[in-house]
Amino acid sequence: MAFLLLPSLCALAQDTLVVAPNKEVLHSTMIGVGSANVLDTYLSPYNYKGTDYRIQRETQRMTLLWSGRVSNQSFIDVNFATTKNHARNIKEYAGGIRYSQGWFYNFMGGNIVNPVERSKSRFNIAAGLGASGYLGVVYIDRSGNNPAQAKADLMIDASVMATYDMVLWRHHYLWRYQVSSPLMGIAFSPAYGQSYYEAFELKQHDHNFLFAYPGNMPSMRHRLTLDIPIRRYTLRMGYVAQFNQSMFNHLKYHSWTHDFVIGFNKYLYRR
Amino acid sequence: MKKIHSLIFFSFLLLVFHSCVKEDFYDNTRRGNYEALWRIMNEHYCFFDYKKQELGVDWDDVHARYAYKINEDMTNTQLFEVLCEMLSELQDGHVNLAASFDFGRNWSFYEDHPENYNDSIAKLYLGHNYSIASGLKYVTLPDNIGYVRCESFAEGIGDGNVSAMLNALASCNALIIDVRGNGGGQLTKAQAFASHFTNEKILVGYVSHKTGKGRNDFSSPKAVNLDPASNGIRWQKPVVVLTNRAVYSAANDFVKCMKQCPNVTIMGDQTGGGSGMPFNSELPNGWTVRYSAVVFYDKDMQHTEFGIQPDIFLEMSGADLMQKKDTYIEKAREYLSKSE
């Protein structure tokens, strides 16, 4: 089977190398499922545990910045979790969407976008900063006032990514790892006992937009994937762990998710 | 290579120094549930000072008095009874404990007082040909006074409904709005209804919420204004609002707003109160607890948690009941006829 795949892979390599690095764009789409552990003390003092569903869409390309050593990553991450309390008698739903744009310096003259064909080293590393925005909600399925909690932030993130080109039986299997963490920004939170009636009906705000930094928003996102080439496409599978946490206005929040993800990625070429 | 080492080291630092945000306490034993309930109330309930002043309730003393009643051999029912008994000390209709087998409550705000309402007799005034606008039942009485029965604010009463009703009653000389027995619902609906009875923005009260776990951690009170309805009809003629002890929560707020409106007279018994906006939480065993979390004051910064006094106090007359007459409605008609 591997010998059958080889000609197509060679043809792909010949095509790509005639294209300038900044014209090459890596697109990746993945879906995932895993576990979720959600705590939002505005709604309940206890952890809610259940299943997490995730969709991720990523675009990466090299730019002309810093003599072509800077790559750009555009990332959309959507998740939805259905959870229950310890007693298993109350449901809670949590979900949101994060959009981020990041710029990474590629060390050692590497190319993190297509390291298999464009880097001399099998190990590549890039680090950079990005901006991201998040909109989400946590809804608890019990009657009463304030059954939901809105989540929103605008952050500057630090991120490090690394790749390792593993060759087995003349095939390239690419490991990718990325860790990101918010550095600073602005986040929304109601005050400790503030009702949404006050915030939105009466438009009375009380420390609802806060300066966020790792001290009050210690969050991290990890992603480890393996790219497996299959003809002109590449199967991508891996593990995504997200630890979104905050402590604003004496309210605690965490959303810890662990997902197995699978999808495809493909290189396309811009004019 | 040094740069790579620095980056790896930086990543490692990120991993190490990111602390976990965890739940504070979880103990699903009898005592664990008892402590959880006491603590949830201690950190979130908004009327401790007022209840201490009015009822002499000391929440620390409550903990001491009830703690000895808890043991691990109790049945669920026994635990529920003790926890409800503890909550009842606060005499707050918004404080409830809900389990699959029972709903703990203290409804003394109306159960300990005369009802001053007879549904069968009140229905005689509506007759059979009354109209309904999203839960508002209305009819024109023989003396050309409009009678509106508002049983709840749980239904979505909107500007369109109120305007349609006021339009239908436009030829009436005056209006009676009967909210007796209205246990509340949506605060926004109550205020939307009241907004049809003022032409100007009026101060109706203040609101304050908790800002932390301390019993005295409150935000500075902020004004709550009633804006005149921007859509539809605004009533310009005399209005009587009929109240009894079962007028509670959002309905209590409606009375508070109406009391500030021009041409409005509150007649009947003191309202039941319930001026705290309730939030919900839960115990480790899954029972749901509801508690007053946000304080609403009147325009003089006074609590209305235990009710609002009417402008004219009324009592149902036994003789009227015998004649199948509603004293409240009859007195309101008499009052409005004189004021025409």
**DSSP per-residue codes, B108-137:** HHHHTS-----HHHHHHHH-SS-EEETTEE
Question: Does residue B18 carry a pLDDT above 70?
Answer: no
User: Percentage of residues in chain A with pLDDT exceeding 90?
Assistant: 72
Interface mutation target, options A194, A224, A255, chain B, most CBs of B under 10 Å = A194
Q: Is B4 within 8 Å of A125 when comparing Cβ atoms?
A: yes
Minimal CA separation from A145 to chain B, in Å:
6
pLDDT (0 to 100) of residue A12: 46
What are the boundaries of each domain within chain B? 30-107, 119-275+294-339
Question: Shortest CB distance from B290 goes to which of A86, A144, A201?
Answer: A144
Count the neighbouring beta carbons within 10 Å of the beta carbon of residue A152: 16
Q: What is the spatial distance between Cα A2 and Cα A207, in angstroms, rounded to a whole number? A: 60
pLDDT (0 to 100) of residue B244: 97
Count the neighbouring beta carbons within 10 Å of the beta carbon of residue A145: 16
Question: Does residue A14 carry a pLDDT above 50?
Answer: no
Q: What is the spatial distance between Cα A68 and Cα A61, in angstroms, rounded to a whole number? A: 10
Question: Shortest CB distance from A44 goes to which of B15, B212, B282?
Answer: B282
Question: Does residue A13 carry a pLDDT above 80?
Answer: no
Instruction: Look up the CATH number of domain B119-275+294-339.
Output: 3.90.226.10
ipTM reported for the complex surpasses 0.85: yes
The pTM score is: 0.89
Q: Is B286 within 8 Å of A252 when comparing Cβ atoms?
A: no
Mean pLDDT computed over A82-89: 96
Where b means 16+ CB within 10 Å and e means fewer, B287-302 reads bbbbbbbbbbbbbeee
Q: Is A160 within 8 Å of B278 when comparing Cβ atoms?
A: no
Question: Does residue A8 carry a pLDDT above 50?
Answer: no
pLDDT (0 to 100) of residue A11: 41
Query: Same topology for domains B30-107 and B119-275+294-339, yes or no?
Result: no
pLDDT (0 to 100) of residue B30: 96
Q: Which of A134-148, A210-224, B121-135, B305-319 has the lowest mean pLDDT?
A: A134-148
Q: Quick one: closest CA in A to B187, which residue?
A: A197
Mean pLDDT computed over B11-15: 56
Question: Does residue A189 carry a pLDDT above 80?
Answer: yes
Q: Is A45 within 8 Å of B24 when comparing Cβ atoms?
A: yes
pLDDT (0 to 100) of residue B288: 96
Q: Cite the DSSP H helix spans in B195-272.
A: 250-259
Q: Quick one: closest CA in B to A178, which residue?
A: B11
Interface mutation target, options B21, B219, B290, chain A, most CBs of A under 10 Å = B21
As a whole number, the mean pLDDT across chain B is 93
DSSP class of B273:
B
Domains and CATH numbers, chain A: 2-147+170-269 (2.40.128)
Q: Is A193 within 8 Å of B290 when comparing Cβ atoms?
A: no
Q: What is the spatial distance between Cα B295 and Cα B217, in angstroms, rounded to a whole number? A: 12
As a whole number, the mean pLDDT across chain A is 90
Question: Does residue B46 carry a pLDDT above 50?
Answer: yes
Question: Does residue B95 carry a pLDDT above 80?
Answer: yes
Residues 101-140 in A contacting B (C-alpha not used; CB under 8 Å): 107-108, 125, 127
Instruction: Look up the CATH number of domain B30-107.
Output: 3.30.750.44
pLDDT (0 to 100) of residue B263: 94
Mean pLDDT computed over A228-237: 88
Structure tokens at A271: 């004019």
B207-250 pLDDT, tens per residue? 999 999 999 999 999 999 999 999 889 999 999 999 999 999 99
B329-340 pLDDT, tens per residue? 999 999 999 876
Q: Is A246 within 8 Å of B21 when comparing Cβ atoms?
A: yes
pLDDT (0 to 100) of residue B8: 56
Residues of A in contact with B286 (CB under 8 A): 85-90
pLDDT (0 to 100) of residue B121: 95
Structure tokens at A124: 């590549």
> Do B239 and B197 touch, CB atoms closer than 8 A?
yes
Q: Is A44 within 8 Å of B46 when comparing Cβ atoms?
A: no
pLDDT (0 to 100) of residue A17: 56
Residue A145 — very low, low, confident or very high, per pLDDT cuts 50/70/90?
Answer: confident
Instruction: Count contacts between A and B (CB, < 8 Å).
Output: 140
